[in-house]
Chain A
Amino acid sequence: MAQTLSPVDLRRRPRRREGLIQVLLLASGLLSILVTLGIVYELVKGAMGFFTRPLWEDTNKPLAADVAPSDTVLPVRPEGAAIPEGAIIRVDEEIMRVQRAEETALQVERGLRGTQPAAHPAGVDIFLEDRVSLWEFFTGIRWIPQAGEFGILPLVNATFIVSAIAMLVALPLGLAIAIYLSEYASPRVNNVLKPLLEILAGVPTVVYGYFALTFVTPLLRRLLGPDVVDIYNMASAGIVVGILVTPLVASMSEDALRAVPRSLREAAYALGATKLETALQVVVPAAFSGLAAAFIVAVSRAIGETMIVALAAGAGPNFTFNPFEAAETMTGHIVRISGGDLSYDSIDYNSIFAIGLVLFLITLVLNTLSQRIVARFREVYE
């Protein structure tokens, strides 16, 4: 059999290096998924720790007599909080389950969860196990870790008030700037203003926090009176958060307005519309979804903003609707308690994750919504 040797070999050759590189690149892309999974996993794990961690509440009910390791009935005094049947209690280091509860005696199962039955002297207080329930977490209006009260509403409330004030500043201001830049300003003016906005957007938030505390707050107090405005207050923080997100609103809105085709503006002018009528009645409505997306992103930024509120809004949860009072937001609280020497084995450590999870979910919903809107908006004009 004669072998003909083809002068050119067009067969596919394995290129191992190419394949390896592609795998490495893909791995880098997948890392971002890993980060998201990491965030979700850690937040959920920490939050679970928060909701399952036993809090020992002092019942102020002492033992009435000495108890030996073998006793299964604890004599107790009638005073103090009632102890329900089935509850888990702790005496000194030992953990027990209450099987039957009477006014002056508790029948218990001794030495639970790896603790050993031990002798306990008369007079020691009985501690009752409590957990943070989801219901308490989402409806409680007090957040006092020392007292075992973990209602997130004061933090959420402050977050929303600060964000609302911020949007009250950023929406009109950002939209007006966007309209000016896209409809009125000449390219030369644009070339000056855009970098200024970028500088404003690039100032670190901690510097804005300094600005809020040392400039805006004194200004508010001078204008409205020091009895009306507290030194730490949500209004000042909100205004400055608004200033912080204004460049974001302005630049995203400007993009949306610029995406409106020129032909629409010309159609309006050709009907004898003035510039203002064209801008407000044709261009803005046509860009509506893009503008909505910008606002939603801005709200999400405002909710997640930390340093300004940490410095200017106040250091203590406070359930109030008065913007001139101090109140701590979710982010502010996380920063404050993690700024101290945080012990990993404390409810404080776990509470960071529970609050973080709520914060993450709120911003995730807002960001996803905004991206959806932007995607749809793009389709309209493509």
Chain B
Amino acid sequence: MTETPAVELRNLNVYYGSFHAVRDVTLAFPKNKVTAIIGPSGCGKSTVLRAINRMNDLIPNARIEGEVIFEGKNIYDPDVDPVEVRRRIGMVFQKPNPFPKSIYENVAWGVRINGFRGTKRELDDIVEEALRAAALWDEVKDKLHQNALALSGGQQQRLCIARAIAVKPEIILMDEPASALDPIATLRIEDLMRDLVQNYTIIVVTHNMQQAARVSDYTAFFSTDESRTGFLVEFGPTAQIFTNPKDPRTEAYITGRFG
């Protein structure tokens, strides 16, 4: 890998109060690739993901050690603005969480608060483009001003993706984005990830091994030690992790799941 990574974790440690949730993660996420984070429940997948765009700042007792390098800068440096970090590293959550506003407003809001200076037409175009990119446009183009809560779960989640795309992030973090959806909606999200990766770097947490195998280019496997602290076991190209894991713990996990 000669190209500079999209984002890089260096000796990342996360604590919740006195609980050491994740220890010593060093990991570089390649640009314009899908990287899957897998591992047993509670191993700190979400914790690591939220460390990448400083969402953990919002948890009162969470504490971070180590560095997260983005665009050559540690995002935890005191002079870094978490607001800008989050604009550039977007996030899609486990459960669809559209705002209780219209479909249009859901997409436009993030653009507006980030100081968008342009005409209504330009904004319309951005909304349309985001919805198209999220493969939702055809389904909602006639009801842009209806409440987003009226959409189905799968549509809501794609709307959340459109919302994240609209502010033009470089990286999109996804925390089990399909776990609350039915299989057909899941498939659409997975296809969407493959489309998006041409323009974005995607980091996706999933507990579904098949999904990781299908959508990701690289895979990071996390596990926990006896004190429930999560750590990185192995990172590599997805094909290698699934067919020829170097670490026996990875193999046990993967084969255990596949039965």
Interface residues of A (CB under 8 A from B): 186-187, 261, 263-274, 277, 281-282, 285-286, 380
> Which residues in B have their C-beta under 8 angstroms from that of A282?
99, 109
Is B87 in contact with A272, judged by CB distance below 8 angstroms? yes
Chain A residue at minimal CB-CB distance from B87: A272
With A186-B60, A286-B99 already in contact, the answer to whether A271 and B109 are too (CB < 8 A) is yes
Q: Is the CB of B86 within 8 A of A272?
A: yes
- Is B95 positioned at the interface, with any CB of A under 8 Å from its CB? yes
CB of B163 within 8 A of CB of A274, answer no
| CB-nearest residue of chain B to A286 | B100
User: B60 touching A266 by the CB < 8 A rule?
Assistant: no
Partner of A270, one of B86, B95, B98: B86
CB under 8 Å from chain A, chain B span 166-185: 167
Which of A267, A272, A380 is close to B160, meaning CB atoms less than 8 Å apart? A267
B63 CB to closest chain A CB (Å) equals 15
Q: Which positions 64-115 of chain B face chain A at CB distance < 8 Å?
A: 83-88, 90-91, 93, 95, 97-101, 109-110, 113-114
Given contacts A273-B110, A277-B113, A281-B109, whether A266 and B164 have CB atoms under 8 Å apart is no
Residues from chain A with a CB closer than 8 A to the CB of B55 are: 266, 269-270
Other 6 A-B pairs with CB < 8 A, given A264-B97, A274-B83, A285-B101: A186-B60, A265-B58, A267-B98, A269-B58, A271-B87, A272-B85
Q: How far is A269 from B163 in the complex, measured between Cα atoms in Å?
A: 12
CB proximity of A101 to chain B, nearest CB, Å: 69
Q: How extensive is the interface on chain B, given as a class?
A: 20 to 34
| Interface pair B113/A272, CB less than 8 Å apart | yes
- Which residues does B use to contact A, with CB under 8 Å? 53, 55, 58, 60, 83-88, 90-91, 93, 95, 97-101, 109-110, 113-114, 149, 160, 163-164, 167
For this complex, 8 residue pairs linking A to B, each with C-beta atoms less than 8 Å apart, are A186-B60, A264-B100, A265-B58, A267-B98, A270-B55, A270-B86, A270-B90, A271-B164
Residues from chain B with Cβ under 8 Å of A281 in the complex? 109, 113
Shortest Cβ distance from A380 into B: residue: B100
Known: A266-B93, A286-B100. A271 touches B160 (CB 8 A): no
Given contacts A264-B99, A285-B101, contact A271 B113 (CB under 8 A): yes
Distance to closest chain A CB from B112 (angstroms): 9
CA distance A314 to B210 in the complex (A): 77
Q: How far is the CA of A308 from the CA of B163 in the complex (A)?
A: 51
Q: How far, in Å, is B38 (CB) from chain A's closest CB?
A: 22
The interface centre, meaning the residue of A264, A267, A269 with most chain B CB atoms within 10 A of its CB, is A267
Report the bound CA distance from A322 to B164 in whole Å.
53
Q: Is there an interface contact between B113 and A273, defined as CB atoms closer than 8 Å?
A: yes
Residues from chain A with Cβ under 8 Å of B97 in the complex: 261, 263-264, 266-267
Nearest CB in chain B to that of A263: its residue: B97
- CB closest residue in chain A, given B149: A380
CB-CB under 8 A from A271, the residues of chain B are 86-87, 90, 109-110, 113-114, 163-164, 167
Q: Are B58 and A285 in contact (CB under 8 A)?
A: no
A232 to chain B, nearest CB (A): 46
Known: A272-B110, A273-B113. A267 touches B93 (CB 8 A): yes
- Enumerate the 8 nearest inter-chain pairs by beta-carbon distance, A residue then B residue, closest first: A272-B87, A271-B110, A263-B97, A270-B91, A272-B86, A267-B97, A277-B113, A286-B100
Q: Which residues of B contact A285 (CB under 8 A)?
A: 99-101
Q: How far is the CA of A155 from the CA of B170 in the complex (A)?
A: 64
A380 to B101, CA, bound (A): 13
The chain A residue with its CB closest to the CB of B90 is A270
Give bound CA distance, A380 to B95, whole Å.
16
Q: With the chains together, A271 CA to B60 CA distance in Å?
A: 20
Output the least CB separation between B51 and chain A (Å): 13
For the complex formed, measure the closest distance between the CB of A295 and the CB atoms of chain B, giving whole angstroms: 19
B residues in contact with A274, CB < 8 Å: 83, 113
- Of all chain A residues, which has the CB nearest B84? A272
Complex Cα distance, B10 from A187, in Å, reads 32
Q: How far is the CA of A274 from the CA of B109 in the complex (A)?
A: 13
**In the bound complex, do residue B83 and residue A272 qualify as a contact, i.e. CB atoms below 8 Å apart?**
yes
Question: With A and B bound together, what is the CA distance between A266 and B100 in angstroms?
Answer: 14
Shortest Cβ distance from A347 into chain B, in angstroms?
54
Question: Closest CB-CB distance, A365 to chain B, in whole Å?
Answer: 27
Contacts of A268 in B (CB 8 A): 99
List the B residue with the shortest CB-CB distance to A265: B58
Give the Cβ gap from B97 to chain A, nearest Cβ, in Å. Answer: 4
Q: Give the CA-CA distance A261 to B85 in the complex, in Å.
A: 23
Is B164 touching A270 in the complex (CB atoms < 8 A)? Answer: yes
Q: Which residues of A contact B114 (CB under 8 A)?
A: 271-272
- Docked CA distance A382–B81 (Å): 35
User: In the complex, A298→B142 CA distance in Å?
Assistant: 41
Give the docked Cα–Cα distance between A380 and B98 (Å).
13
What is the CA–CA distance of A245 and B96 in the complex, to the nearest angstrom? Answer: 37
Highest count of chain B CB atoms <10 Å: which of A186, A269, A274:
A269
Q: Which residues of A contact B113 (CB under 8 A)?
A: 271-274, 277, 281
For B90, list chain A residues within 8 Å (CB): 270-271
Q: B160 to nearest A CB, angstroms? A: 7
- Output the least CB separation between A100 and chain B (Å): 72
* Residues of chain A lying within 8 A (CB to CB) of residue B91: 266, 270
Q: How many Å lie between the Cα of A337 and that of B79 in the bound state?
A: 68
Let me know if A266 and B84 touch, CB within 8 A: no
- Chain B residues within an 8 Å CB radius of A264: 97, 99-100
Cα of A285 to Cα of B87 in the assembled complex, Å: 22
Name the distance in Å between B85's Cβ and chain A's nearest Cβ: 8
Docked Cα-Cα span, A122 to B49, in Å, equals: 104
